[in-house]
């Protein structure tokens, strides 16, 4: 397993994949560590998360540079990612006891009925390369807080990040076996899901990978959470402030070099502001600096791998062949590394690749519509349903519009984002289940119903009679 810098092609380090014996040892260690970790008071588990948050903040520059070297995100964004991981650890350190407290439900006058939330055991996480720390920690923090133990199968191009995550958790006090990184290929995931020691699985990844994991987990009757791809609409209504909205549009499309499931990808614009928006949007994209992401002034780095850039370029070419207009970019840059420039497609046919497929890179597809109804129909005309945003001068109008989106995360006058305080996840082919907030920590617990009947002993005494002592004088 090799780590390389996509910006330069430089080989960073080689890692030996874990053998079957090593994976088996990790599974045994997780199963052995689970009972003691689950039985520790939740306040103790939360103190470990608090320490992890401190370490992540202290090492934000170190880990940020590691992310940049391995997958090419701009270094400022990488440092911010490490800080966001600290935030999610702090969030659950503070809120997990409340999120997992017993839920008392009134039923009968003489009964106490409640739902308790108890951990399941070892949970397998299959994570992608594009947010190599954040997407792991938004699973790890609630899983460990709830008393589960975790196994991470990370993407093969970010092994350094995977081992750094293990390092920071170990240094924070997570006990041996309660968290382990597995350096293995994707072909070994099925066997892990089928293993009796693994009690649940979560994946963030492509639709194809999610279908495979969901199918295997379903066959094993194990709970799963799937956070898959997206083709998020960015709807610009006729009363939106054009210049400000265009600036937000550029940020929403280019975040993480365009390699984000929740990046805005389809820009659906009312005809009254279409021309002015396209002009402003193009100016914003043209102003972005493309270059080596270790440079603090760079806005857009390389794509994470050469094959990913080639796939993206193929989507652009097919869209142009289908009738789209190439208004900006559209050709790989003639330089070392898989650099693709900010690219703008206008007049995009609704059956073109940029309209029907997820474009995982800095490519924006713009569509013109005549009214709000047409905008909503086009926004929802996708197999995906992860995020969506609408932009308007009237927030109340925006909220009414957002309620009609077929997506899991809907925003008004704000780019789609994940936030520890809010549930995160999608519908349709974007997956199922939720991460973050209270909903996320309750995905991998046994929501156990408990009924405690009061007055039973007294009723038994009445029925049997208090005056019928046995031979030693006690009441039978």
Return residue ranges of the chain for CATH 3.40.309.10: 232-412
Fold classification of 2-227+444-451 (topology level): Aldehyde Dehydrogenase; Chain A, domain 1 (3.40.605)
Q: How many residues would you count in the chain?
A: 476
**Residue of 70, 207, 227, 368 marked active site:** 227
Contact 337, 294 (CB under 8 A): no
pLDDT tens per residue, range 201-217:
999 999 999 999 999 99
* Tokens found for residue 283: 């100016």
pLDDT at 457: 72
**Phi, psi (rounded to 5 degrees) for 124:** -95, 130
Cα–Cα distance measured from residue 235 to residue 249, given in angstroms and rounded to the nearest whole number: 10
Residue 288 gets which letter from DSSP? P
pLDDT at 437: 98
pLDDT at 474: 44
Strands 445-453 and 179-181: what pairing?
unpaired
How many helices and strands, by DSSP H and E, does the chain display? 16, 18
pLDDT at 461: 62
pLDDT tens per residue, range 149-168:
999 999 999 999 999 999 99
The CATH class of 232-412 is alpha beta
* Tokens found for residue 48: 């470990």
Return residue ranges of the chain for CATH 3.40.605.10: 2-227+444-451
- Identify which of 29, 446, 407, 384 has the alpha carbon closest to the alpha carbon of residue 198: 29
pLDDT at 456: 84
**Residue of 46, 89, 161, 261 marked active site:** 261
Q: How far, in Å, are 79, 295, 303, 329 from residue 76 at the CA level? A: 5, 9, 17, 24
For this structure, is 207 an active site residue?
Answer: no
Burial class (CB in 10 A: 0-12, 13-18, 19+), 129: buried
Residue for token pair 């014996």: 21
Which residues of the chain fall below pLDDT 50? Answer: 467, 469, 472-476
For this structure, is 261 an active site residue?
Answer: yes
pTM of the shown model: 0.94
Contact 268, 367 (CB under 8 A): yes
Contact 153, 182 (CB under 8 A): yes
pLDDT at 469: 45
């Amino acid at each position: 397993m090799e780590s390389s810098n996509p910006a330069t092609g430089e080989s960073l380090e080689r890692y030996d994949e874990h053998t079957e014996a090593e994976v088996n040892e990790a599974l045994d260690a997780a199963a052995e560590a689970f009972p003691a970790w689950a039985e520790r008071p939740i306040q103790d588990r939360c103190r470990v998360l608090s320490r992890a948050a401190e370490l992540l903040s202290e090492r934000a520059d170190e880990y940020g540079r590691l992310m940049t070297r391995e997958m090419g995100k701009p270094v400022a964004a990488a440092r911010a990612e490490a800080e966001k991981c600290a935030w999610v650890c702090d969030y659950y350190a503070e809120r997990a006891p409340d999120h997992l407290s017993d839920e008392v439900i009134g039923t009968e006058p003489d009964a106490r009925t409640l739902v308790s939330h108890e951990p399941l055991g070892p949970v397998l996480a299959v994570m992608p390369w594009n947010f190599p720390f954040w997407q792991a920690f938004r699973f790890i923090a609630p899983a460990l807080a709830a008393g589960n133990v975790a196994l991470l199968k990370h993407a093969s191009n970010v092994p350094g990040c995977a081992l750094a995550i293990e390092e920071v958790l170990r240094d924070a006090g997570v006990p041996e076996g309660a968290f382990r990184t597995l350096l293995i290929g994707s072909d070994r995931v099925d066997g892990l899901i089928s293993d009796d020691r693994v009690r649940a699985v979560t994946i963030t990844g492509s639709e194809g990978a999610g279908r495979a994991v969901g199918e295997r987990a379903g066959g094993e009757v194990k709970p799963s959470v799937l956070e898959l791809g997206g083709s998020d609409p960015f709807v610009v209504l006729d009363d939106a402030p054009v210049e400000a909205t265009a600036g937000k549009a550029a940020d929403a499309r280019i975040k993480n070099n365009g390699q984000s499931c929740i990046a805005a990808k389809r820009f659906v614009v009312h005809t009254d502001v279409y021309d002015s928006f396209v002009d402003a949007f193009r100016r914003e994209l043209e102003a972005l600096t493309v270059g080596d992401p270790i440079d603090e002034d760079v806005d857009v780095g390389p794509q994470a791998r050469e094959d990913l850039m080639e796939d993206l370029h193929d989507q652009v070419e097919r869209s142009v062949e289908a009738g789209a207009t190439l208004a900006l970019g559209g050709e790989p840059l003639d330089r070392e590394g898989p650099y693709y420039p900010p690219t703008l497609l206008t007049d995009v046919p609704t059956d073109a690749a940029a309209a029907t497929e997820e474009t995982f890179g800095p490519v924006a597809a713009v569509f013109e519509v005549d009214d709000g109804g047409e905008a909503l129909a086009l926004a929802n005309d996708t197999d995906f349903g992860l995020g969506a945003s609408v932009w308007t001068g009237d927030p109340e109008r925006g909220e009414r519009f957002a309620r009609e989106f077929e997506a899991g995360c809907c925003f008004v006058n704000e780019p789609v984002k994940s936030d520890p305080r809010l549930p995160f996840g999608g519908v349709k082919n974007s997956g199922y289940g939720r991460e973050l907030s209270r909903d996320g920590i309750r995905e991998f617990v046994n929501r156990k119903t408990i009924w405690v009947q009061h007055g039973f002993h007294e009723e038994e005494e009445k029925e049997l009679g208090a005056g019928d002592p046995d031979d030693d004088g006690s009441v039978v």
